[in-house]
Amino acid sequence: MTDALVIGAGPAGLMAAEELAQAGRRVVICEAKASAGRKFLMAGKSGLNLTKDEPLADFGARYDAAQGWLAPMLAAFGPEAVQGWAQGLGQAVFTGSSGRVFPVAMKASPLLRAWLARLGAAGVELRTRWRWVGLEGGFQFDTPGGRVVLRPAVTVLALGGASWARLGSDAAWVPWLAGAGVELAPFRPANMGFSVEWSAHMARHFGQPVKGAALCAAGRRERGEFVVSARGLEGGGIYAVSKDLREGAALVLDLLPDLAVAAVAVRLGRGRAGESTANRLRKAGLAPVAVALVQEWGRPLPEGAALAALIKALPVPLAGPRPLDEAISVAGGISRAACTGGLELHKLPGVFACGEMLDWEAPTGGYLLTGCLATGRWAGRAAAGLNPAG
């Protein structure tokens, strides 16, 4: 009989496997894809943001409704521990001006290679192209050699959520757990872009970033950059308020957040007689793409102080979130009520869950990866009998 099984070779699964191996368990990881960490590697393409260097109380608050649930896991493996973990794998880290922590190499691949080598040295076996396909009679897998059924002593599920199916997070596991009576919350997109129905003149601005704006929704004001795309708006600034927007809040942009309305009005008034409104907007400090947004959503454009007020509070007509599979992460999944304190499933004794399978969400900026690592470690330790399971 297989001793300890981990299904899924993303960050949460690899962390669970490492904890089990360190506890002396014989660990097998089954991964549906041809290699480990597909989404992890994708996350590193634009610079792998490992965590955020900030006080644990502030860090934990970014998990919103799940803060209390994840608190002991983050206390055991929070921002400081994540940095030490990366350094232990030979990857020096640095903290940017925003507090975000990155490996000096910036990419995920050197860290993943070192991690897999360490797991291999600890005796962990990685089986790729082993796709979990059901629970009848045990854990059934489609493998290159045909159908295989495993009946492990303990299992950790780390299959990801429901976004980026091509990288492995396809939520195929939902009907099997639902059929076993595990309580699940519906999946919803998180950290996602929003659709906008553009007029034709906006096409020349697609791909352009809007920098330095403040995005306001549901009483929240976030400074950040976002991108105008053919599909709508996306990027870090949008992701920061995406939860509120998903729940129906209106979005308003302050395109000159460092200036008061009166100061913007003064800038607008410096234009020459007969000068076009577009030129006056540019001279007031707006980049061409921001000028285009004012013209797109503010027509007919007012004059004077009213135009200044529009620049400071430009309403954005969104047409809904982008599809679930395009989202960076998800809300929903295995509910807190379905798990013990050790992340063991009440309906499936001996089976633990971690990572994005669980019903929590967090913004980008290092919170997602830290949450996956922390829950993976917690589930692995509980499965090995090192954490209380109650």
Domain final residue pick, 288, 316, 344 = 316
Do 105 and 216 belong together in one domain? no
Would you say how long the chain is, in residues? 390
Instruction: Find residue 139's DSSP bridge partners.
Output: 150
Residues 126 and 86 in one domain: yes
Residues 198 and 181 reside in one and the same domain: no
Number of domains composing the chain:
2
Last residue of one domain, picked from the residues 316, 341, 364: 316
Per-residue model confidence (pLDDT) at position 386: 85
Give residue 389's pLDDT. 53
Question: Are 18 and 124 contacting, i.e. CB atoms less than 8 angstroms apart?
Answer: yes
Same domain, 364 and 273: no
* pLDDT for 2: 80
Q: How far apart are the first and last CA of the chain?
A: 26
**Burial profile 204-242: b = 16 or more Cβ within 10 angstroms, e = fewer:** ebeebebebbbbbbeeeebebebbbbebbbbbbbbbbbb
Asked which of 292, 316, 340 is the last residue of a domain, the reply is 316
Q: Are residues 213 and 109 in the same domain?
A: no
Q: What is the pLDDT of residue 343?
A: 98
In a domain, 153, yes or no: yes
Q: Indicate which CATH number applies to the domain containing 32.
A: 3.50.50.60
Q: Which of 116, 136, 137, 138 is nearest to 128 (CA)?
A: 116
For the chain, list residues with pLDDT below 50: none
Tell me which residue range forms the domain holding 179.
4-189+330-383
Residue 388 domain-assigned?
A: no
Residue 323 in domain: no
